[in-house]
Structure formats: C-alpha cells, structure tokens
Amino acid sequence: MQAPPPRARAVRAAGPPPAVTRAAYGTLPGGAPVTRWTLDSGTGVRAEVLDYGGILHRLDVPDAAGRPDTVVLGLDTLDDYLADTAYLGALIGRYANRIAHGRFALDGHPHQVPVNDRGHALHGGTEGFDRRRWRATPQLSPDAAALRLDLRSPHGDMGFPGTLDVTAVYTLDRHGTLRLELTARARRATPVSLTHHAYFNLAGPAGGPVLGHLLAVDADAYLPVDTTAIPLGPAAATAGTPFDFRRPRPIGERIGADHPQLLAAGGYDHCYVLAPPPAGDPLRRAARLHDPRSGRRLELWTTEPGLQVYTGNALDGSLRGPDGTRYLRHGAICLEAQQFPDAPNRPDYPDPVVRPGTERRSTTEFRFPHLRAAAPGPGAGSR
C-alpha cells in the first residue's frame, strides 16, 4: 500500500494577475522567427509554448511540498526541435496516429499521405502540423492567460483534400488547469484528428522512468494492433489483461508481461476506447496519473473518443533536455486524446471526417488536483 503523499500546498487564490510574455527563440531555415510564449497563472503554474509546432516547451507545476519543476519533456534549442522525430510537446495534425499505408478513399476518391512509420502515415505524414509555424495571438483575462495559434493547411497538403483552417488555444487559469481547445473548419470533406503530444513525467524530466507512476484510464476496452501499430479491428476488453487500468496501477507493474501486444510495441502504445460522455457535458475524465514521490497528480479530461497511451518506448537517450538530462526508455508517458487510428479506413469507428459548413471542436484539460486539494473557499477547482 502506498504511503500518502505530503499534504498538498494549495494554489493560492491571491497573487499576481495572469500574464503572457514573449521572447525570441530562434530562426527557422527560411528566416522566419520563432517566439517562446510564457503563460503565467500568477499562482505558481507556468507554461511555455513555441509558435513553431505549437510545442509545449515547459509546464512548471509545484509538487505537493510547493517545489516547482517542469512535468513535460522539452529540448534545449530550436535546432533540437527541428531535428526531433519524437514529437515532443507538439500539436499533431492533420491526422494523429496512423493511417494504414497512408492511403484512404473519401467520397469515392483515393488519397495518399506520405508514409513515415513502417510503411504507414504517422501524425499527418512527413511534414505534419508539428513542423509548421503557427500565427500566435496572446489573450488575457482576469482569471487566465491564453495563447491562440492559427494555421491554414492548403488543399493537397500532405495529400489530404481540402483547405483546413485550424485554431489551437492554450489557456492556463489561476487554479493551474491547462486547457487546450482545438477547432478545425474544412472547405471540402477531409479526415481530421488533432491531438497534443506532451511527454509527462510528474517527477520532473530528471526523475527517471515513469514505471512507478500510478495510472488509471477510464476505459474498459482498447484497440489491439498488428506488429506495425495498425488496429486489427474491433475493440477488445481490457479485463483480465495488462491493459486494465480501470483502477490505478503502477505503469511498470505489467509492462513487461508476456503479452503479444506489449511485446510488439515494447510497452504500451495503444488507443483506449473512452466511455461516452455524460448527458449535457461532452467533457469527461479519461485518465489519472500520480507520482507518489513528488505527490503530483494529473487528471486528463477530454471530449475526444479515444486516448492513445504511449510509454515512451522509443526514447533511447539520443534526446536531451535543456539541463543535459538524457531521455531514456519509459522516461515519460504520453496521453493523447484523439480520434481512432486508421479511422478513415474503418467505417465501424467514429467518423473522423469534417465536411464543409461544419467544424470539429475538441477540448482537453490537464488538471492538477493536488494543487486544489486544500484550496480555500468555494469553487477552488476548475470545475
């Protein structure tokens, strides 16, 4: 039985007002400048976002004793991000996860996306939204600091049909909740799955593997995959398998089990089928993460139907953080709220197509309940 963490130090309601600041971060090969935007809640939580890739560069969160550290993996320089193939902290699109062989047909017309992962298209192809410079606009209110990012993806971009206008809004409120709102508007029918690819380590990037973190996923089914990470078909029940996280379990408890799905991926890299949202509120809890050492807790709430759980199986020490820390295998976990992988080819999956005159909206919140546990007064939580 885990010993209880130290009593949480609450995020204070009083303090400086939220703020947004900016600093130069480098220049892209074509000469365009990249800016690092800092969202400060005024109550101890800070987020740094780049307008290249919409990358969440840092997310500083106090632990249960009030000591701050970033809880996401980041890189040192813009050149490091330009060379990165692990999608650290990036916004992902036009289609997150994989499309088998990069091919799909829509309304009778075939389309081909460049393949970049074992013969399949991953995260939008070779030049996805993580490789784009987004237009940034800071936004402020008395209770939150926000950054709006806009991107236009033209017709034929990476083989996808139709011009797509995408907006991403990062909002950090005074309770320490980081909210990401994604909106996509299409001029002709196109499949869309947008997600965020933060690598979380609640002990801090130098905290070692996350195998001791406790994970809970609010799902009783997941999508088994073949040896190239393409879904095999219908969802499978998690009960009685190493994929059952309906109650909190250490990530490392069964990650090395003799199970074909774990052996093929080198750990967890699977999409969980989330329970339908409650009536009247499309935002529901999808996952909880807890580091007993630091006392930090994370809850992910989302409107998306799927959650890809990836345990950093391909991290091999070649990437380093700003402090020189090497990012090793299982050194972080990604919790990627998204549409189902390969859904453009699977009519039995939720429909990922956005059509003219409609828009796809999704919201994901990263909440830190250990900061709110002792917050004074009513309404201390974000919801």
Task: Classify strands 91-92 and 109-112 as parallel, antiparallel or unpaired.
Answer: unpaired
Name the percent of the chain in helix, strand, coil, to the closest 5: 10, 40, 55
Structure tokens at 344: 């453009």
Residue-by-residue DSSP string for 11-41:
PPS-SSPPEEEEEEEEE-TTS-EEEEEEEE-
Q: Phi, psi (5° rounding) for residue 352?
A: -95, 5
- Known catalytic membership, residue 253: no
Q: Where are the alpha helices (DSSP H) in the chain?
A: 78-83, 260-265, 369-372
Tell me if residue 155 is catalytic: no
Given 48, 299, 336, 365, the catalytic residue: 336
Tokens describing residue 380: 């201390």
- Coil/strand/helix, residue 371: helix
Catalytic residue, chosen from 120, 197, 213, 370, is 197
Tokens 């700003």 map to which residue?
A: 322
Residue 78: closest CA among 125, 113, 149, 27: 27
Burial 125-135 (b: 16+ CB within 10 A, else e): beebbbbbbbe
Question: Which residues are bridge partners to 150 per DSSP?
Answer: 135, 167
Cα(210)–Cα(192) distance, integer angstroms? 31
Phi, psi dihedral angles at 382 (to 5 degrees): -75, -20
Separation between Cα atoms, residue 181 and residue 193, nearest integer Å: 13
Question: What single-letter amino acid sits at 99?
Answer: I
Angstrom distance (rounded) from CA 160 to CA 346: 17
**Residue 49 gets which letter from DSSP?**
E
What is the full DSSP assignment across 225-269? B-TTS-B-SS-EE-TTSTT--SS-EEGGGSTTSS-HHHHHHTS-E
Query: In whole angstroms, what is the distance from residue 178 CA to residue 171 CA?
Result: 6
Residues with a known catalytic role: 197, 336
